Amino acid sequence: MIDFLRGPVAHLESDYVVLDVNGVGYRVFCPNPYAFAKGEGDVIAYIHHSVREDAILLFGFPTRVEQKLFRKLIEVSGIGPKVALGILSGGDPDSVVTAIYQENITYLTKMPGIGKKTAQRMILDLKDKLDDFSAAVYSEGLFAVQVPQEEDHTSWSEAREALKTLGYTDTELDGVWLKIKDDITYDDTVDVIMKKALKLLYAG
């Protein structure tokens, strides 16, 4: 089974990226393809290799934490790969894990494809299976964002700081904010805002 792929980005779509690995193009479905689009040279995608009767699919993530959480999510009845990708697209791993620990159904039901019953099932199935997950999140330096509460405003300031670590300048970020600010909703998470911003930044 494939555990990770390393190579340059050959092609990019809204739901997948194609990595050129020694001349072979691998289509990798991921929560945020634009996370792999910054700069040139090789990128690494941690892979979940899915083999079904009708298809062989690759799901990829920029960190081991996201790879691990994806695998936990698809163990929950009613959550398939598409819904799991939507969850990781709508919320960063630490926020999702914290929401499960806190039994925050309001936060979980904001995720694409997650209704109240599925959120309750996530909590029931996963709450006692994530004891080692926080340590993994901390080790990759991801445990920084708290689960958004109802009174929170947009998370642009956090998204902006994360984008700056990718090498974007204040001028670039100020420009992209003017283009996306009217499209940002009250419920958008940091990852969602970053995805919207990266789409424009990557397009130039």
Q: Enumerate residues 6+ apart whose C-beta is below 8 A from 2.
A: 47, 49, 58
Do 88 and 96 touch, CB atoms closer than 8 A?
A: yes
Phi-psi region at 134: left, alpha or beta (left = phi > 0; alpha = psi -120 to 50)? alpha
Give the pLDDT of residue 80.
92
pLDDT one digit per residue (tens) for the chain, 204 residues: 899 999 999 999 989 999 999 999 999 999 988 888 766 789 999 999 998 888 899 999 988 889 999 999 999 988 999 999 999 987 778 888 888 988 999 889 888 889 999 999 999 999 888 776 654 454 444 443 334 443 344 477 778 878 877 777 877 887 888 788 777 776 677 788 888 888 888 765
CA distance 108 to 115: 8
Give the pLDDT of residue 133.
66
Q: Which residue has the tokens 């805002």?
A: 193
Give the pLDDT of residue 46.
95
Answer whether 0.85 is exceeded by the pTM: no
* Sheet of strand 56-61: strand arrangement: 4-7, 43-51, 56-61, 24-29, 16-21, 9-12
Pairing label, strands 43-51, 4-7: antiparallel
Q: Which tokens sit at 166? A: 């990718």
Element (H, E) at 59: strand 56-61
Tell me the CA distances in angstroms from 140 to 36, 64, 144, one per residue in order. Answer: 17, 9, 11
Q: Which tokens sit at 63? A: 């960190």
Q: Which residue has the tokens 């199935």?
A: 125
- Residue ranges and CATH numbers for the domains of the chain are 4-61 (2.40.50.140), 64-139 (1.10.150.20), 156-203 (no CATH)
Give the pLDDT of residue 53.
83
In this structure, which amino acid lies at residue 84? A
